[in-house]
């Protein structure tokens, strides 16, 4: 069953808000056996919505719209849907009663504003889909197209929490109940490879007649997702297990998880399993590394703390980085990264110290150390290690994020005894 998605909103078309609803639903619909075929993004304009409905209904048997179900004048999706389907809008007293009840439950005094009554007007013949989060209900409407095909249209509220709540309660179960095929997937989380290198290593992994492979890139992390289609869930899982063995062979240490999880989760889990502790010293990442680690539940058992030492004086005073190292090698150097990591380990009494220093940009670069130059340092009882990376001028936030990921990956490889491609890892 093919699925088309329509996202309505002036803010989406103008680039002020990114549509996160459509990718979310496409991913989950694929998992229950539906086939997403396209996404249309349109303004809050009745003719534009109608044109998108025409195109989406031509492409698929199921259309899901998001947005335009609110109480204001620019919320036009239901009126546009009714006109497109040749139906009238009908006021539903039971829907209005539910809106009033939710209004009172939220602690408002008095009745809802009069314009909220618009949310109780739905196309004639539509099924109302309760919204457990907000006041705008969704609807499901069967529409016979000029060519005789019946297309099912779901209209959902645009607020992401409400969109997802209605989709999980009504759309996804409806889709799942009408699929004969089963779709199974497995996510492989990868670090340190370029997208082209990952594509090259996994080429030919999934036969086209069995499914497909999709790549998601957010350097230096990537995801490879294998999708298989069949009728026997048990057989599909066995096939995915066999493919996982092959993926592990092809990717080696670059594969860090077989789930949609971050490196911080893998590192924290490994530290917990080994009963070892960590402290961090950050310069260019400005606390982002520690913040990422503390996102993991239970990490307090292994993460002792961190120091943000941005200036050279802070590096000397808080981490005991020698003045001669800073003067001779500079703040952005492997030598300083080693000293920062050792200082953090000593200050907190941790098993490991992990450090970041670099030039995130847009200024501060030199021909010798251009913007995007970062150094990762690691210290443990038996020694220290550091590596320099050239990330390029990819924007300040991106350089900081990549530095956090590369630091976590360095610790992961050390903890698990994994090699680096150039055999220069922290072991």
pLDDT, one tens digit per residue, over 231-280 is 898 999 999 999 999 999 999 999 999 998 999 999 999 999 999 999 99
* Partners of 184 in beta bridges: 228
Domain layout of the chain by residue ranges: 2-176, 182-257, 263-416
Question: Which ranges of 112-178 would DSSP assign to H, the alpha helix?
Answer: 160-166, 172-176
pLDDT, one tens digit per residue, over 295-341 is 999 999 999 999 999 999 999 999 999 999 999 999 999 999 999 99
Q: Which of 129, 155, 21 is nearest to 75 (CA)?
A: 155
Q: How far apart are the first and last CA of the chain?
A: 51
- Name the CA radius of gyration of the chain, rounded: 27
Fold of 263-416: Maf protein (3.90.950)
pTM for the predicted model, two decimal places? 0.77
Q: For residues 36 and 246, what is the distance between their CA atoms, to the nearest angstrom?
A: 28
Output the pLDDT for position 179: 84
Task: Please report, rounded to a whole number, the percentage of residues in the chain having pLDDT higher than 90.
Answer: 85
CATH architecture of the domain covering 2-176: 3-Layer(aba) Sandwich (3.40)
Q: Are 45 and 135 in contact (CB under 8 A)?
A: no
Angle (deg, nearest 10), helices 46-59 and 77-85: 60
The answer to whether domain 182-257 has CATH 3.30.70.2860 is yes
For the chain, the average pLDDT equals 95
Q: For residues 296 and 267, what is the distance between their CA atoms, to the nearest angstrom?
A: 10
Output the pLDDT for position 423: 45
Q: Are 166 and 127 in contact (CB under 8 A)?
A: no
Q: With bands split at pLDDT 50, 70 and 90, how would you rate the model's confidence at 426?
A: low
Go through 298-316 and write b for each residue having 16 or more CB atoms within 10 A of its CB, e for each that does not. ebeebbbebbbbeebeebb
pLDDT, one tens digit per residue, over 70-91 is 888 888 999 999 999 999 999 9
Go through 178-212 and write b for each residue having 16 or more CB atoms within 10 A of its CB, e for each that does not. eeeebbbbbebbbbbbeeeebeebbeeebeeeebe
pLDDT, one tens digit per residue, over 203-230 is 999 999 999 999 988 878 899 999 998 8
Going by C-beta distance under 8 Å and a sequence separation of 6 or more, which residues neighbour residue 405? 191, 220, 221, 263
pLDDT, one tens digit per residue, over 335-388 is 999 999 999 999 999 999 999 999 999 999 999 999 999 999 999 999 999 999
Strand spans (E) along 20-84: 35-42, 62-66
């Amino acid at each position: 069953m093919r699925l088309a998605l329509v996202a309505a909103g002036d803010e989406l078309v103008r680039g002020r808000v990114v549509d996160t609803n459509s990718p979310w639903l496409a991913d989950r619909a694929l998992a229950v056996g539906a086939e997403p075929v396209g996404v249309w993004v349109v303004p809050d304009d009745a003719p534009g919505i109608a044109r998108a409905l025409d195109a989406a209904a031509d492409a698929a048997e199921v259309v899901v719209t998001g947005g335009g179900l609110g109480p204001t004048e620019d919320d036009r999706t239901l009126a546009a849907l009714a006109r497109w389907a040749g139906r009238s809008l009908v006021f539903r007293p039971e829907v209005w009663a539910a809106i009033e009840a939710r209004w009172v439950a939220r602690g408002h005094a008095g009745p809802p504003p009069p314009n909220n009554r618009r949310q109780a007007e739905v196309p004639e013949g539509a099924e109302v889909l309760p919204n457990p989060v907000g006041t705008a209900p969704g609807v499901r409407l069967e529409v016979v197209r000029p060519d005789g095909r019946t297309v099912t249209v779901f209209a959902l509220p645009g607020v992401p929490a409400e969109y997802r709540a209605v989709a999980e309660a009504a759309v996804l179960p409806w889709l799942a109940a009408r699929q004969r095929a089963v779709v199974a997937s497995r996510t492989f989380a990868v670090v340190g490879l370029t997208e082209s290198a990952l594509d090259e290593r996994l080429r030919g992994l999934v036969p086209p007649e069995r499914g497909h492979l999709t790549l998601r890139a957010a350097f230096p992390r990537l995801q490879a997702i294998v999708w298989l289609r069949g009728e026997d869930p048990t057989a599909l899982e066995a096939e995915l297990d066999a493919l996982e063995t092959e993926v592990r062979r092809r990717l080696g240490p670059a594969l860090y998880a077989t789930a949609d999880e971050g490196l911080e989760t893998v590192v924290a889990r490994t530290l917990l399993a080994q009963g070892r502790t960590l402290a961090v010293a950050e310069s260019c990442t400005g606390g982002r590394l520690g913040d990422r680690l503390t996102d993991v539940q239970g990490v307090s058992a292994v993460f002792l703390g961190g120091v943000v030492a941005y200036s050279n004086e802070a590096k000397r005073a808080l981490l005991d980085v020698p003045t001669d190292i800073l003067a001779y090698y500079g703040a952005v150097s492997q030598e300083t990264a080693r000293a920062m990591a050792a200082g953090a380990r000593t200050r907190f009494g941790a098993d490991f110290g992990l450090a970041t220093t670099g030039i995130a940009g847009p200024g501060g670069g030199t021909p010798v150390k251009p913007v995007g130059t970062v150094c990762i340092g690691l210290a443990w009882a038996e020694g220290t290690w550091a590596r320099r990376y050239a990330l390029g001028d990819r924007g300040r936030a991106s350089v900081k994020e990549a530095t956090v990921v590369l630091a976590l990956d360095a610790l992961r490889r050390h903890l698990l005894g994994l090699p680096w491609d150039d055999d220069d890892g922290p072991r």
